Structure 1
Amino acid sequence: MSAEKIRKNAEQTVSEATSTAREELESLKSQLEQFLNHHVVPTLSEAANTAVSSARDIAGHQKKSVETNVSAKPLLSIGISAVVGFVLGRLSR
């Protein structure tokens, strides 16, 4: 075999290997995208919706708790608000 023939054979082999590697990578990329879209994204979306719903429930309970405490002791609530406002006003100067 001549050197030129060996070089052409090597180039062809490298080209075929490169093409096969690209095809494999594209196939893996496609499979990964399908997996993410069918399994991971819906699960994360459901978890996020559950977290948002729980946060809203907690916020609602806290709001009712504050309303109950304020209506039970309105003068104490006004006093606490005044003190907090005074302290924040002094700190902001």
Structure 2
Amino acid sequence: MSALKKAPSPNPGNLLPASLADRQLDHIERMVRSIVRANSARPVHGMDQEYWESRLHALVNESDLVAVQQHRVQRLLQDLAKRLRPNALKQTAA
């Protein structure tokens, strides 16, 4: 969960409301699903794993996410990590 910690903000009132984050999360979820399904180490349309991870981290830092949204972000980061190391996760499950 350390990936979800927000950087201290000088003014917490500057965070975007959680209601605005849902649309971004929906988009990122669709893209991550298509990337994971592509099952390729190459970037999809020039946007690699680091790009999507940075989008997720920016969303966490800019928005006042509720618990459900934080779990969605965590799951997306895990999905991206699985794509990078698919065999490492299979070995730990065995």
Higher RCO, 1 vs 2 (CA within 8 Å, ≥6 residues apart): 2
* Rg comparison, structure with higher value: 1
TM-score, structure 1 normalization: 0.28
TM-score, structure 2 normalization: 0.28
Q: Which has the higher helix share?
A: 1
